[in-house]
Amino acid sequence: MKLRNTASALTTHDSKHANDHQERLLWSRRTWLAGTLASCCGLSGCTSKSSSDTQLVNVSYDPTREFYEAFNTAFAKYYAEKGKPNVSFKMSHGGSGKQSRAVMDGIPADVVSLALPFDIDMIAEKTGLIDSDWQTRFPHNASPYQSTIIFMVRKGNPRNIHSWSDLTRDDVQVITPNPKISGAARYNFLAAWGYVLKQELGDLESLNTPDSPKVLAAEAKALEFLRKMFQNVPVLDSGARSATMTFTRSQIGDVLLNWENEAFLAATESNDHEFEMVVPELSILAEPPVAVVDRVAEQHGTTQLAHDYLEYLYSDVGQTLAAKHYYRPSEPEHVEPSLLDPFQPLERFSVSSVFGSWKAAQTRFFNDGGVFDQIFVPK
């Protein structure tokens, strides 16, 4: 299993989308454009394809390359053994927000497997390509695996980094992706914010009275903490994998904030144990979701295949492969217990318990003019 940093097979822009009605009118044009774009740029991760194969396109977030390479092979074998048509796959990987916009712009995804529910909700709301009840179609709100945010440091932990509080020290450089386009980066930001609230309030139950002076003071402390932390960020990468490469290959930074699975993979692949993982005292519950892109699957005639493909993520095989690639299975009872040993117990809070919802968090922190734009000063 090797870390790879293949470029996402899409080009996006940061301009605002048209309204919902215009988005839907543009779909047919974008579908044609996406076909041209895919043929010119090439979606990555294709299995060998014969003329009789049925093709499935999965647009995914940044660090799932190795997992879906293994899962696609397993699913194709399973499907063939059931007497179903041969299946080949095309994959696209990148920052979750960027990938969401790519689907809205016409990349012909049959399924999406993104970092957070908001990115799928945006596809549903802005284009109608995904039905609004998508989270009810699969178990665990359509999240077949979980993760969290941990730290990666260099061998011997020379900066003695053990807690979120260490990330604002003047002698520490922090590597994190760009929260405007990366799902991992948004989790990083919210995990740090939640840590400060817990430190200031003692527990997170106090957030039930958001206008109390105590909570307002804690929010102000969190704002200042994130401002200082991002002063220690020398570069904002586009996604989790590129941030990993900045830290491990370019040797920039003292600590990397990233997905737990990405940290495990990087540590496993490092020579001479160059990197170590640090599990903070508190982190965030990450539940990356999946969905069928209904209108595209209908157009391709792949609706049943797309459903079967995502459903197989919850099988013994799918859950075992998730664990082997360092994702926490949503149904661990399907997995050999030894595969769960690497996952340390830690306190995790959910986005909904601290921020209300992903939509509320996105609007407050990451939309244009939000908190992140107010505190981040490009270097």
* pLDDT tens digits in sequence order for the chain, 379 residues long: 455 543 333 323 333 333 333 333 333 333 323 333 333 333 665 444 555 689 999 999 989 999 999 999 999 999 999 999 999 999 999 999 999 999 999 999 999 999 999 999 999 999 999 999 999 999 999 999 999 999 999 999 999 999 999 999 999 999 999 999 999 999 999 999 999 999 999 988 888 888 899 999 999 999 999 999 999 999 999 999 999 999 999 999 999 999 999 999 888 887 777 999 999 999 999 999 999 999 999 999 999 999 999 999 999 999 999 999 999 999 999 999 999 999 999 999 999 999 999 999 999 999 999 999 999 988 7
Residue from 228, 220, 245 nearest 173 by CA: 228
CB under 8 A, 24+ apart: contacts of 352-355: 353/204, 353/207, 354/190, 354/193, 354/194, 354/197, 354/204, 354/207, 355/190
Under 8 Å between Cβ of 152 and 267:
yes
State how far the Cα of 371 lies from the Cα of 367, in Å rounded to an integer: 8
Q: Which residues pair with 200 in a beta bridge?
A: none
Task: For each of the domains in the chain, give its residue range(s) and CATH number, in order of start.
Answer: 20-146+288-340 (3.40.190.10), 149-285+345-375 (3.40.190.10)
Q: How far apart are CA 17 and CA 26, in angstroms?
A: 11
For the chain, strand residue ranges (E) read 54-61, 87-94, 111-113, 145-146, 149-154, 174-177, 236-237, 255-259, 275-278, 282-284, 290-292, 328-329, 347-349
Residue 90 near residue 79 (C-beta atoms within 8 A): no
CA angle 313, 315, 320 (to 5 degrees): 80
Phi-psi region of 272 (alpha: psi -120 to 50; beta: other; left: phi over 0): left
Cα separation of 172 and 286, whole Å? 26
DSSP 338: G
Place of tokens 């919802």: 357
Amino acid at 130: I
Beta-carbon contacts of 371 under 8 Å, excluding residues fewer than 6 positions away, are 223, 226, 364, 365
CA 176 – CA 243 distance, rounded (Å): 6
